[in-house]
Amino acid sequence: MQVDLSTTIAGVQLDSYLMNASGPKCTTWDELEIVAQSASAAVVTKSCTIEFREGNPEPRYSDLPLGSIPSMGLPNLGYKAYLEMVPKLKALGKPVVVSISGFSIEDNIEMVSAFQKSDVDLIEVNFSCPNIPGKAQVAYDFEQVECALKALTVLGDKPIGIKLAPYFDMSHFIAMANILKKFPVKFITCVNSIGNTLIIDPVTESPIIKPKGGFGGLCGDYIKPIGLANVRAFRELLTDDIQIIGVGGIKNGVDAFEYLLAGADAVQIATCFEKEGANCFERIENELAAFMANKGYKKLSDAKGKLKPL
């Protein structure tokens, strides 16, 4: 049985439920070209800043048995480089999602304004990078979120979404949902890595990464239950005109299906892409289609958001 895995985010047609997440292997033109030539439904760029950034000192990434711990520090080419790439990226035939991560509302206004005048399909504003020394995550400051959205959502007609930090308390889900509903935010992406986790090597008696004394973002299988909970909570609190992209620990078709049940309109893949490479998109897509076919589901809407309570 043929299963239709196509979806839309903010009116942008996606041929598949899966795309890359901003983070791994999406910084340079060569990396973005590989994403475009894969089965990823869109090309998502690295979160860009006003200026070029080297990022944090090495070692700043380590594989773990069930995921990874990075503290990259937003290495990127600077937003003007990605702005110049947009026409070439669009020519590769897939929707382009630019991720931006300014260090102030003014930074984000400058970048969103520039990309509003470009041919990008979606603008994802990253409010949740946990790995910049001395910089707080905007997503945990609800007053700052509201100020930023007030400024950013009036800059043009291209759909804007925000990438959120993981929340753990129901009061935080409710507070954020109430803010989102005040503005024309078209989608949220949740979750980013869990910030400020620590992995210690007992042999060397040291952390396994260098930045911030070893504190980094936890990714992969470890965070899937948190990603699922965030998607589910926001799906229940938000109206359907704010769509949800789920992220966190998706490495096979069943993982993707769980996010579908929780209510995600699409998913992004980070750690699995980092470890396995671009072939992961086609493999996971095939696994998802096969799993759904075995259940008799023909399209995403047959299962989306239909988690069955006990």
The per-residue pLDDT string of the chain (310 residues; one tens digit each, 9 = 90 and over) reads 899 999 999 999 999 999 999 999 999 999 999 999 999 999 999 999 999 999 999 999 999 999 999 999 999 999 999 999 999 999 999 999 999 999 999 999 999 999 999 999 999 999 998 888 888 899 999 999 999 999 999 999 999 999 999 999 999 999 999 999 999 999 999 999 999 999 999 999 999 999 999 999 999 999 999 999 999 999 999 999 999 999 999 999 999 999 999 999 999 999 999 999 999 999 999 999 999 999 999 999 999 999 999 9
The domains found in the chain, sorted by start residue, are: 7-302 (3.20.20.70)
**Token representation of residue 264:** 């995600």
Rounded distance between C-alpha atoms, residue 66 and residue 68, angstroms: 7
Could you give the angle at the alpha carbon of 230 between the alpha carbons of 229 and 231, nearest 5°?
95
Distance CA 47, CA 144 (A): 19
What distance in Å separates the CA atoms of residue 29 and residue 77, rounded to the nearest whole number?
10
Is 129 one of the catalytic residues?
Answer: yes
End-to-end CA distance of the chain: 29
* Dihedrals phi, psi of 264, to nearest 5 degrees: -75, 135
Catalytic pick among 26, 129, 190, 280: 129
